[in-house]
Chains A and B, each alone.
Chain A
Amino acid sequence: MRRGLAAGLVAGVLAGLVGLVAGEPALGRAVALEEAADLAARGPGSAVARGGQRAGLVVGTSLAGLAVGALFGVAAAWAVGRVEGGAWARSLKLGAVLVAAVVVLPAIKYPANPPGAGDPVTLSARTTLYLGLVALGLVLAAIGWAVGRLPALARLRVPARQVLVGAGVGLVAVVVAAALPDLDAGAAVPAELLWSFRLGSLATQAVLLGATAIGYGLLADGAER
């Protein structure tokens, strides 16, 4: 059992790296946009050269992939026997829930901003709210899992149960997100650029998490056979 855990951790780390390789093309396109935004906002001459920052992007997402992969490995080990389906199905389910809770929910309420769009004065407030919403998304996902296992719901067929719980969690998420304070959107950035950047950001995050789930699922499925 312990060996399985270790394998899960290693696989999670590997999956994080795999996620990066797969995410590269999406990153490249977004960087070009972001660079344009940076030039427009601050002018040339930021402290680290743009080439360095682009390398930093890859290093940064690699490290993030590693961290995400390690956590994912533990979560997947937890899911054995607690989430329905084989290793592959479990991994995909976890990945989908993660993307919804950590990427989609925060992106709807507090979308990513390109450089120069935010007011430095509100930075710490924005950071706190953003992180709070990420944490809330995870808590909601956990609550949804727990509710789905209530004996009262066990008599329902699986699709009915999943729709019911999913709708409930989604509703709560919408209510919570609506209750949180709004933030000023970036005013200084052209709307078209803002939109492109946010799409690129969404793609990057979704690929990072999604590829982690897929990579882990492949490895775990292979180990299960």
Chain B
Amino acid sequence: MTARPVPLRALTWPFLGALLLAALVLYALAFDQGALAAPVTTAMAEDGGVLHEFFHDARHLLGVPCH
């Protein structure tokens, strides 16, 4: 069975959607230092914010530079 390539145009929206999802998730997960949680709570701001501390282990194990 030889499959025809899916035209790139048909992939544009799924790609952008997946990219947006990944960008949001990975930003909160790996790089946020308190900006995202700031409107809700400023607790733990000195340590990089709630999200930073909560995802701390995942950040390290996934290889992202943390501190």
Contacts and interface: CB of A to CB of B under 8 A. Distances in A.
Whether chain B is bound by chain A comes out as yes
B4, B44, B55, B60 interface centre (most CB from chain A within 10 Å): B60
CB-based closest 8 A-B pairs: A60-B58, A81-B5, A57-B57, A67-B22, A112-B63, A48-B53, A56-B54, A70-B18
Contact of B62 (A4, A71, A78, A201): A201
Nearest to A90: B3
B57 A31 contact: yes
Interface string A24-64: 00010011001000000000001110001111111111011
B44 A47 contact: yes
B31 A60 contact: no
A118 B66 CA distance: 8
A61 B57 CA distance: 9
Interface stretch (A92-100, A120-128, A137-145, A153-161): A120-128
**Main SS of the interface on chain B?**
helix
29 contacts: A5-B10, A5-B14, A34-B60, A52-B54, A53-B54, A55-B54, A56-B55, A56-B57, A57-B57, A60-B29, A60-B54, A60-B58, A60-B59, A60-B62, A63-B29, A66-B21, A73-B18, A78-B8, A78-B11, A80-B3, A113-B65, A113-B66, A123-B65, A123-B66, A126-B65, A197-B60, A200-B61, A201-B62, A204-B62
B40 interface: no
A23 to B, nearest CB: 10
B56 A53 contact: yes
A82 B6 CA distance: 9
B29 A64 contact: yes
**Main SS of the interface on chain A?**
helix
A73 B13 CA distance: 13
Given A60-B62, A70-B21, A71-B19, 14 more contacts: A52-B53, A59-B55, A60-B29, A60-B54, A64-B25, A66-B25, A67-B21, A68-B22, A74-B18, A81-B5, A106-B63, A112-B62, A115-B56, A120-B67
